[in-house]
């Protein structure tokens, strides 16, 4: 039963290793920055935020269209089946007719046609004037929202990338430990067959091999999921093989310590710029409602021609048409609209107050997040240093136990226990490294340094 289980585990490990080796062939090398750059081009949330900017630009142009001339053409052809009659006092036309004699006259012919073109130009309108001034701020607001999305994508890529690096290192270490444990198992089995070792020693080592094999399969599966998560955050096909190049986590120690000394600058944080721009938009909104109380002025010009006849065919002779033209100004003065504008002004003022509160709250949020991330990162760095010492000690103990075992002055139980302690120390070290990475990501996000 033991050998059957070992064989099954071995096949599973071989299958896992085959998949990992196959994926490493023709893999695309990617640094951290390369992953972020790829994500900013292919992540669907980022692409939608870029489309939102284009949508906002189109909406601004729709608003600005009110400031351009509007030209309309019109053509009418009318057939009066039963012309409408007009009633007049016949005495006004014929003094012989008695006063009060009412006669009905058709003042329209059976066919009538006219064509015209009209042009209007807005000269002054307070709402449109403010919209023109606010157009760049509206577009900037959309871009800043896109910057928030990009920062979130960078944040997720940063954590996924480093998590994958740690998983790869764990898998490599467990593979090395498994290889050595199998070597001991083989030696003990040969020794037992020669009558120089007990069965319990072999069984104890086999348990260690099986545990390591199971952990290796688990980490291998975790490695696959972590890689797929990174590709998902990047917007990359999850079947495309990649290889990471920024794997020297320990070499970033100085950068981590420098990050602890970095001070807050609110303008670097995209979320702060969003609420700050929101205040400007609300201020423009207030001005817009206030300006709507002013008169609006527009000019118009129209030109056309028309003709009428008893039959249809004369309408086709355009030389008979008579031209007409109009030119003028329209002044519109708002007088009373049921207190709507007054309430709109009140609402705009309240939104400005709300935006100011949001700005102060965002400052507090940034301060809190930065302080919390600093504390977490500082503790994580200390924990990594402690776990690193423990791992170095565990490595030394295992090395000593292995040398004693090879020299014949130590037992395999001592090696097995040392190897178990080493794996526990390594797991604790990598967990501490993961805490450092997550805290780094949180602090960089709070400081607006994820570029």
Q: What is the pLDDT of residues 50-103, one digit of tens each?
A: 999 999 999 999 988 988 999 999 999 999 888 888 888 887 777 888 888 888
414-447: pLDDT as tens digits: 877 888 888 889 889 999 999 999 999 999 999 9
Place of tokens 């990338």: 161
151-163: pLDDT as tens digits: 999 999 999 999 9
312-340: pLDDT as tens digits: 888 888 888 999 999 999 999 999 888 99
The two three-digit tokens of residue 294, written as one number: 């002013």
pLDDT at residue 389 tops 70: yes
CA distance 405 to 199: 17
Mean pLDDT value of segment 379-395? 92
pLDDT at residue 399 tops 60: yes
pLDDT of residue 361: 97
CA distance 382 to 321: 95
156-213: pLDDT as tens digits: 999 999 999 998 988 888 888 888 778 777 776 776 677 666 777 677 777 777 888 8
pLDDT of residue 33: 92
121-157: pLDDT as tens digits: 999 998 888 988 999 999 999 999 999 999 999 999 9
Mean pLDDT taken over the chain = 86
Nearest to 104 by CA among 81, 84, 83, 86: 86
Q: Are 233 and 39 in contact (CB under 8 A)?
A: yes
Mean pLDDT value of segment 32-48? 94
Mean pLDDT value of segment 391-407? 85
CA distance 252 to 381: 12
Q: Are 103 and 87 in contact (CB under 8 A)?
A: yes
Q: Are 348 and 286 in contact (CB under 8 A)?
A: yes
pLDDT of residue 54: 95
pLDDT of residue 444: 93
């Amino acid at each position: 039963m033991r050998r059957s289980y070992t064989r099954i585990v071995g096949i599973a490990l071989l299958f896992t290793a085959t998949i990992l080796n196959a994926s490493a062939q023709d893999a695309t090398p990617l640094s951290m920055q390369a992953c972020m750059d790829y994500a900013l081009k292919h992540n669907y949330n980022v692409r939608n935020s870029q489309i939102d900017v284009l949508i906002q630009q189109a909406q601004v142009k729709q608003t600005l269209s009110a400031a351009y001339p509007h030209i309309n053409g019109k053509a009418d052809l009318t057939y009066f089946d039963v012309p409408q009659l007009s009633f007049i006092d016949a005495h006004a036309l014929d003094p012989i007719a008695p006063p009060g004699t009412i006669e009905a006259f058709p003042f329209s012919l059976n066919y009538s046609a006219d064509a015209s073109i009209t042009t209007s130009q807005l000269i002054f309108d307070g709402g449109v004037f403010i919209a023109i001034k606010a157009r760049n701020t509206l577009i900037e607001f959309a871009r800043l929202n896109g910057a928030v999305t990009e920062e979130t994508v960078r944040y997720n890529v940063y954590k996924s990338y480093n998590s994958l690096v740690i998983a790869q290192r764990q898998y490599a270490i467990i593979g090395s430990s498994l290889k050595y444990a199998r070597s001991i198992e083989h030696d003990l089995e040969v020794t037992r067959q020669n009558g120089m070792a007990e069965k319990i020693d072999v069984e104890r080592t086999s348990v260690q091999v099986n545990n390591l094999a199971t952990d290796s399969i688990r980490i291998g599966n975790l490695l696959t999921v972590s890689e797929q998560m990174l590709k998902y955050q990047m917007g990359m096909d999850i079947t495309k093989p990649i290889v990471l190049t920024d794997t020297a986590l320990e070499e970033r120690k100085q950068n981590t310590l420098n990050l602890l000394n970095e001070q807050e600058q609110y303008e670097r944080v995209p979320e702060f710029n969003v609420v700050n721009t929101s205040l400007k938009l609300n201020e423009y909104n207030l001005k817009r409602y206030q300006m709507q109380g002013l008169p609006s002025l527009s000019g118009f010009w129209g030109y056309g021609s028309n003709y009428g006849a008893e039959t249809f065919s004369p309408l086709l002779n355009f030389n008979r048409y008579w031209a007409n033209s109009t030119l003028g100004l329209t002044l519109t003065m708002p007088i009373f609209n049921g207190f709507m504008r007054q309430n709109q002004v009140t609402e705009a003022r309240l939104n400005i107050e709300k935006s100011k509160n949001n700005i102060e709250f965002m400052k507090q949020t940034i301060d809190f997040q930065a302080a919390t991330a600093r504390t977490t990162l500082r503790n994580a760095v200390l924990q990594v240093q402690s776990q690193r010492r423990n791992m170095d000690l565990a490595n030394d103990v295992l090395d000593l136990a292995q040398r004693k075992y090879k020299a014949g002055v130590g037992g395999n139980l001592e090696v097995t226990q040392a190897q178990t302690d080493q794996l526990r120390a390594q797991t604790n070290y990598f967990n501490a490294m993961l805490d450092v990475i997550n805290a780094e990501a949180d602090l960089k996000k709070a400081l607006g340094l994820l570029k």
